[in-house]
Amino acid sequence: MKCYKFSLFTFLIFFQLNAQLLDTATPIEFEETRSLSKTSSGFLVESTSLDFHSPLSIEGAALRFSGNIKSRVWVQYVFKSDSLSPIYKTKLFSEPGSNRFIASILKKSETEVFRIRYKAESSEEIRLLSGGIYTAFESENKSDNSISPLMPKRNVTDKPKIISRSEWGAKSPKYDYSNHPYFNKMTLHHAAGWGAKTLEEGKAAVKSIQDFHQNGRGWSDIGYHFLVDMAGNIYQGRPETVLGAHVGGANTGNIGVCLLGCYHPPETSIPCYDEMSYNSEQSLIKLYAWISDTYGVEPKLLKGHRDYFGTTSCPGNNVWSMLPNLRSEISLFIMYGFQPTRFALFQNYPNPFNASTTLHYDLPEPSRVSITIYDILGNEVIRLIDTDQHYGYKKIVWNGQNANGSLVSPGVYFFKAELGPLTETRKMTLMK
């Protein structure tokens, strides 16, 4: 390729991959001078990873970028004494509703790899967000048809509404599944880059994840058994009675659920600041209660992906810290139905909004409740509620009006909630 020098600059870039913006690969770091140049056909960016902690026999690599999906990306392995593999062209997988895409290569190396290099060419500026490598440890379990499907142990808790594979447009598995010989684990993940706030966005995200897992990772099917979007819609991934591909080395007996969104605030500018929505939490409680009750897996066995081998931040700090409460609420739901275990205020949904928005909060016991809306200057707009309430899962709607019944101007507002001993304030945005 003939390159016309237009401008050339270099800058130091460091990625803290604590964010684990790829849940299906072991993260690697880039701390090198990255070159970005203007060429006759657009932009060229290239860099090399830091040395791995120890050389590995890898099975491929994945890189997440922001930029044009029509880019071209190549990967090269670096061996001992800086010898190089051939240059491999990657396959690209888009993330619906964003400007991000994943470049993936499946190429097993019999020789131990120390680093990887990449080169990306695009008609627009392109930026690397994160990178990872595939190892044999994370490969999908080979099909074993000798194990018969397990029958549910009991079925007392009602099954929640689940979007079927045909409803979200799933492709058929590429080869046969393996059945679980037993059930003894439940695991929660986050999708890292794939988010969804509506049913249609959720269907698109789940299809995209399946495409990446099948054609980028080389798996038979989508790796998770269930996925949950921010609106609380639950999607069937693989049948829960078969082995998934979601926790390398611990898939047997393990039912995996993935939250769509990215819930681990990174130390970079990469957006990964989602908080679990009220609807997501309620759906997770119902889903895990049904799984636990149906397949005999105690709620206390629910773990986050990071709890197994420590190679990932998944499901992100914003979700992982909620697991103790989730376990308790799942147990209570199985025994008594819904009953909150702690005082909690959730982010309003939708946010931003242009007509009305709903505020959700939890009361584990009868309590005094006061919720007030303020403008950005701290002036009181309206007091939505100020009364005693019985325990339970609560919600209240704000229609964008002040105390006089007039519509307020678009902008940033705050809602302050006093829920028994809990006082908490959150920000929301009213659009035109």
User: 15-57, pLDDT tens digit by residue?
Assistant: 333 345 678 888 888 865 566 677 777 888 889 999 988 888 8
Could you tell me the pTM of the whole model?
0.80
Residue 47: how many other CB atoms lie within 10 Å = 20
Strands (E), 41-163: 42-48, 58-66, 72-78, 88-89, 91-94, 100-106, 115-122, 127-135
Residue at 278: amino acid letter = Y
pLDDT in tens, 303-330: 999 999 877 889 999 999 999 989 988 9
Q: Report helix angle 323-336 to 278-295, nearest 10.
A: 60
Looking at the fold, whether 379 and 275 belong to one and the same domain comes out as: no
Please check whether residues 387 and 306 belong to one and the same domain.
no
Q: What is the average per-residue pLDDT within 77-81?
A: 90
Asked which of 73, 103, 138 is the last residue of a domain, the reply is: 138
Lowest mean pLDDT among 99-108, 199-208, 271-280, 369-378: 271-280
Neighbours of 410 (CB within 10 A): 13
pLDDT in the model for residue 18:
38
150 part of a folded domain: no
DSSP state of 285: H
Q: What is the DSSP string of 321-373?
A: TTHHHHHHHHHHHHHHS---SS-EE---BSSSBSS-EEEEEEESS-EEEEEEE
Number of CB atoms found within 10 A of residue 176's CB:
12
The residue that leads in pLDDT, 2 or 126, is 126
- Given this model, what pLDDT does residue 32 score? 55
Q: Tell me the average pLDDT of the chain.
A: 88
- For the segment 272-305, what is each residue's pLDDT rounded down to a tens digit? 888 899 999 999 999 999 999 999 999 999 999 9
What's the mean pLDDT in 352-363?
Answer: 92
Q: Domain residues for 318?
A: 165-336
Torsion of CA 127, 132, 134, 139, to 10 degrees: -110
| Residues 348 and 332 both lie in one domain | no
Q: Which of 174, 179, 111 is nearest to 151 (CA)?
A: 179
Q: Are residues 212 and 319 in the same domain?
A: yes
Which of 123, 138, 153 delimits the end of a domain? 138
What digits encode the pLDDT tens for the residues 165-213?
999 999 999 999 999 999 999 999 999 889 999 999 999 999 999 999 9
Check residue 35 and give its pLDDT.
63
Task: Flag whether 214 is in a domain.
Answer: yes
The count of structural domains within the chain is 3
Residue 9: how many CB atoms within 10 A of its CB?
A: 9
Is residue 2 scored above 70 in pLDDT?
A: no
- Domain check: are 120 and 173 in the same one? no
- pLDDT at 8 exceeding the cut of 60: no
Are residue 45 and residue 90 in the same domain, yes or no?
Answer: yes
| 162 compared with 339, residue with greater pLDDT | 162
Sequential DSSP letters for 118-147? EEEEESS--EEEEEEEEEGGGSPPPP-TTS
Alpha-carbon distance of 109 to 117, in angstroms, equals: 14
Q: Which amino acid is at 326?
A: L
Residue 255 pLDDT grade (very low, low, confident, very high; cuts 50, 70, 90): very high
State in Å, rounded, how far the first CA of the chain is from the last one. Answer: 49
Is the previous residue joined to 315 through a cis bond, with omega within 30 degrees of 0? yes
* pLDDT tens readout for residues 297-306: 999 999 999 9
Domain CATH code at residue 359 = 2.60.40.4070
CA distance 352 to 408: 15
Is residue 155 situated within a structural domain? Answer: no
Q: What would the pLDDT profile of 174-184 be if each residue is shown by its tens digit?
A: 999 999 999 99
pLDDT number for residue 21: 62
- Unique residue bearing structure tokens 């009213």: 430
* Strands lying side by side in the sheet with 254-259: 234-236, 226-228, 254-259, 185-190, 302-304
Asked if residue 319 lies in contact with residue 302, where contact means CB atoms within 8 angstroms, the answer is: no
Last residue of a domain, one of 290, 318, 336: 336
Same domain, 203 and 311: yes
Indicate whether 349 and 320 sit together in one domain: no
Please state, in angstroms and rounded to a whole number, the distance separating the CA atoms of residues 50 and 27.
11
